[in-house]
């Protein structure tokens, strides 16, 4: 059982890191549906750098850096060029998916480096995710930065006339958001499952995106959701330990995706929204144009 929970928490770490990144961007009003793309970049570049330099640390830095670059790209397209956020996010996803397939394939296979030490099987990155959760909550609700971030996401025009630099605030939020996704990808490829294969994340980025909607943009709820999904993922991989011989192992693999849809539906019902309110940032998805 310990084994199961440890694997679950390790998986939830990756969901949480990526989704926390997305929350920061969305709180600032910029949605990036290309989480999966940014994570693939972080995973692939992190993997290649670690493998060629022999340094895990450099690998993580490379993953974070490429994530930040992807964030910058998204910021430039959506904030400076006023591009449609969904279209651009799609672009980032397909770019990440296509390019990393090509870049990574010569390195396909295991990383072949010693594993990062664990705490009885628990990845130290889970602690990192915990710290990020608390820190991001604190920044959101207790600091001037957080007030600015939330304000440009709610109503950029008001933020601007109050003296907030909307463009700068959004840029930094989106770049940070990309860096977190890159980091999440690197944790996957260097720690969770250090074997490169094409399209290795198989939808984790999209689940992280869905998690943000579940979380009502609150880091604590988000972390709980991530843990739930980490457990679901483990169940789907090892159904025999829990419920043997019901479905084929392939049907079990659909499990987390089916649950994602079900939870998403529950969250979007009138029943739910009227009880727990819609915390959705009001300006989410809308380009801000000063005139």
Partner 1 sequence: MTEIKHGDIVLQARGITKRYPGLVANDHIDFEIRAGEIHAILGENGAGKTTLMSILFGLTRPDEGEIFVFGKKVNFRSPLDAIDLGIGMVHQTRKLISAHSVLENILLGHPRAGAILDLKKTAEEVKALCDVYGYKIDLNTKVWHLSEGEKQMVEILKALYRGAKILIMDEPTSALAPPETKKLLETIQLMTKNELAIVPFITHKLPIVLSVSQRVTVLRRGKIVARLNTADATEQSLAMEMVGREVIFNLERPDVKIGKPVLQVENVSAYDDKEYWATRNISFEVREGEIFGIAGVSGNGQQPLAEVLAGLRKASTGRVLFRGKDVTNLSSLERWKRGIGYIPSEQRAVGSIGEFSLVENLLMSYYYDDLFVKWGMIDAKKVRQLTQELIEEYGVATPSPDVKARNLSGGNLQKMILARVFSRKPRLIIANLPTQGLDVGAMEFVQNKLLEEKKAGAGILLISEDLDEVMALSDRIAPMYEGEFMDILPGGSAQRETVGALMAGHKEKAVGA
Partner 2 sequence: MKLAGYTLKLEKKASFTGLEAIVISVVAILVALFLVGFIFLQAGVDPAKGYQAMFTYAFANPFGAPLTINRAVFILLSTFAFIVPIRAGLWNIGMSGQLYFGALTAFGVAYVFGARTSGANLSGAIVIPLMIVGGAIGGGLAGAIPGVLKGKFNTNEIVVTMMLNFIGYWVVAHMIKEGGPFMGSGGEGEGFKLPASIQAPIVSGVSVLTLVIALLLAVLLYVLFTRTRLGYQIRAFGLSPAAARYAGISPFQIALITFVIGGALAGLAGYHYFGTTPNLNQIPKNYGDFGDMAFYGIICGLISQGNPLAAIPLALLFGGLTSGGRYVQGKLHLSYGIDYALLGVLMITLVAFQFFFRYRVVFKKES
Residue among 13, 12, 32, 14 nearest 22 (CA): 32
Q: Does 153 help bind partner 2 (rule: CB under 8 A)?
A: no
**CB-based contact 59:74 (threshold 8 Å):** no
Site map (CB under 8 A) of partner 2, residues 257-286, x = contact: xx-xx--xx--xxx----------------
Of positions 7, 51, 74, 150, contacts partner 1 by CB under 8 A: 150
Which of partner 2, partner 1, none sits in contact with 29, Cβ below 5 to 8 A by type? none
Tell me the window of 72-80, 99-107, 120-128, 147-155 that interacts with partner 1 (CB under 8 A): 147-155
DSSP calls for 37-94? HHHHHHHHHHHHHHHHH--HHHHHHHHHHHHHHHHHHHHIIIIIS---HHHHHHHHHH
Nearer to partner 2, 69 or 147 (CB): 69
Name the minimum Å distance from CB 130 to partner 1: 21
Of positions 142, 195, 264, 268, contacts partner 1 by CB under 8 A: 142
Which of partner 1, partner 2, none sits in contact with 269, Cβ below 5 to 8 A by type? partner 2
Sequence-ordered list of residues with C-beta below 8 angstroms from that of 234, at least 6 positions apart, any chain? 4, 7, 8, 11
Q: Does 243 help bind partner 2 (rule: CB under 8 A)?
A: no
Q: Does 57 help bind partner 2 (rule: CB under 8 A)?
A: no
Sequence-ordered list of residues with C-beta below 8 angstroms from that of 77, at least 6 positions apart, any chain? 83, 88, 91
Name the minimum Å distance from CB 116 to partner 2: 28
Q: Does 246 help bind partner 2 (rule: CB under 8 A)?
A: no
Q: Tell me the two tokens of residue 289.
A: 């144009």
Q: Does 164 help bind partner 1 (rule: CB under 8 A)?
A: yes
Of positions 58, 86, 103, 147, contacts partner 1 by CB under 8 A: 147
**CB-based contact 45:63 (threshold 8 Å):** yes
Q: Does 131 help bind partner 2 (rule: CB under 8 A)?
A: no
Q: Which helix (H) or strand (E) holds 110?
A: strand 109-110
Partner residues linked to 137 by β-bridges: none
Which of partner 2, partner 1, none sits in contact with 224, Cβ below 5 to 8 A by type? none
- For residues 222 and 24, what is the distance between their CA atoms, to the nearest angstrom? 12
Q: Which of residues 177-206 bind partner 2 (CB under 8 A)?
A: 198-199, 202-203, 206
Which of partner 2, partner 1, none sits in contact with 151, Cβ below 5 to 8 A by type? partner 1
Q: Which helix (H) or strand (E) holds 195?
A: strand 195-196
DSSP calls for 161-182? HTT--HHHHHHHHHHHHHHHHH
Of positions 18, 70, 159, 226, contacts partner 1 by CB under 8 A: 159
Residue among 60, 88, 94, 61 nearest 72 (CA): 88
Q: Does 145 help bind partner 1 (rule: CB under 8 A)?
A: yes
Residues at the interface with partner 2 (CB under 8 A): 33, 73, 77, 81-84, 86-88, 90-92, 94-99, 101-103, 105-106, 198-199, 202-203, 206-207, 209-210, 213, 247-248, 250-251, 253-254, 257-258, 260-261, 264-265, 268-270
């Amino acid at each position: 059982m310990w084994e199961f929970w440890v694997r679950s928490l390790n998986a939830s770490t990756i969901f949480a890191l990526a989704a926390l990144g997305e929350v920061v961007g969305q709180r600032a009003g910029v949605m990036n549906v290309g989480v999966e793309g940014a994570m693939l970049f972080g995973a692939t570049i992190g993997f290649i750098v670690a493998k060629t330099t022999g340094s895990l640390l450099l690998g993580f830095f490379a993953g974070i850096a490429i994530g930040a670059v992807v964030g910058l790209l998204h910021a430039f397209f959506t904030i400076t060029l006023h591009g449609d956020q969904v279209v651009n996010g799609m672009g980032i996803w397909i770019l990440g998916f296509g390019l990393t397939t090509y870049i990574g394939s010569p390195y396909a296979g295991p990383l072949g480096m010693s594993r990062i030490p664990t705490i009885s099987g628990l990845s130290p990155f889970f602690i990192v995710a915990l710290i990020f959760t608390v820190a991001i909550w604190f920044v959101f609700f207790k600091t001037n930065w957080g007030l600015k971030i939330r304000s440009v996401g709610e109503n950029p025009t008001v933020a601007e006339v109050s003296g907030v630099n909307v463009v700068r605030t959004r840029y930094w939020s989106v770049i940070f958001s990309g860096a977190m996704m890159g980091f999440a990808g690197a944790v996957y490829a260097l720690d969770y499952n250090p074997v490169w294969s094409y399209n290795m994340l198989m939808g984790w980025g999209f689940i992280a995106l869905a998690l943000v909607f579940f979380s009502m943009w609150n880091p604590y709820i988000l972390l709980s959701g991530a843990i739930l999904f980490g457990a679901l993922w483990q169940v789907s991989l090892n159904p025999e330990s829990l419920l043997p011989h019901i479905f084929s192992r392939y049907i079990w693999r659909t499990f987390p995706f089916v649950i994602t849809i079900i939870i998403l539906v529950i969250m979007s019902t009138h029943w739910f929204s009227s009880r727990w309110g819609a915390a959705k940032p009001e300006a989410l998805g809308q380009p801000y144009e000063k005139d």
